[in-house]
Chain A
């Protein structure tokens, strides 16, 4: 199912109310060609379930991994992905753009 960003936030709320740990990832900045606009969300729960998208599939795996640590620690993180990034060889954006993603725990 493809949820829009409003539906994703509602999903995050219902997950948290069901007692799961939840993190919300948000695209806060993009440079060049980026697949998802600023404000797009990926929501993740403590079991690794996720909905939404911050990059159309390129870096979601990495964001989910970071999100699990964010849920654990309760501390937000700012992440960057792009071709100039060393990690790009592993989890870069094929479109050549660059994105900044903030991952925030729901407390």
Chain B
């Protein structure tokens, strides 16, 4: 492989852009393919499948090796609340890169949130630094539309693979109304998981965190990467 090609690949990885490195086994020639370039490539079908599943491997017949580089999954949470304390801890164990956003400085203290990126600012400001993307799970936990709604708007626009919002069906119906009045379609608001989390009968904040993380992992492994 040429050093220039490796540099280009590393630049794409650093920019969190999905990329496949193709090695033709017979000739040893290598190339990078982006999701936008898949359909024009001779290996289109195999590349499409590889982007979808995230799995590296040899193509059928073994003529080419596809090494799939997808960005590591990020978790962004609005609300430095009790559930987030447990969720941040568990997400870290599961290997997710977790950021908590909450402008209420009484909640967002490093003492309550060790080992996690904590931004004590409004979502619009925080999102200039921690950008949601297709490989991001976004979770809204404050119950406060002033904080949660801007987060949901950004997450919907960025097409986060998972979007969840805490609140009853009634609360969520009002939320959907607000988002639709801002121009989001019913299909778009339907992407929000609410009530949030898998239905495991969770009661305590750590139990709710388990149900949320379970739902994120299920989305991450099943539905993500539809390139």
Residues of A within 8 A of B (CB): 6, 9-10, 12-13, 16-17, 24, 26, 28-29, 37-39, 76, 78, 102, 104-107
Contact = CB atoms under 8 A, between A and B. Distances in A.
B10 interface: yes
B17 to A, nearest CB: 12
A106 B3 contact: yes
B82 interface: no
Contact of A28 (B2, B9, B55, B65): B65
Interface of B: 1-3, 6-7, 9-10, 13-14, 23, 25, 28, 55-58, 65, 67-69, 72
A13 to B, nearest CB: 5
A40 to B, nearest CB: 9
24 contacts: A6-B69, A6-B72, A9-B6, A9-B10, A9-B13, A10-B14, A13-B3, A13-B7, A16-B3, A24-B1, A26-B67, A28-B65, A29-B57, A39-B57, A39-B67, A78-B25, A102-B65, A104-B1, A104-B28, A105-B1, A106-B2, A106-B3, A106-B6, A107-B1
A24 B28 CA distance: 13
Nearest to B67: A39
B3 A17 contact: yes
Contacts of A106: 1-3, 6
Nearest to A24: B1
B10 A38 contact: no
Contacts of B67: 26, 39
A29 B58 contact: yes
Nearest to B6: A13
B169 to A, nearest CB: 40
B46 to A, nearest CB: 14
A12 B2 CA distance: 12
Nearest to A14: B10
A43 to B, nearest CB: 10
Contact of A107 (B2, B13, B65): B2
A76 B14 CA distance: 26
B6 to A, nearest CB: 5
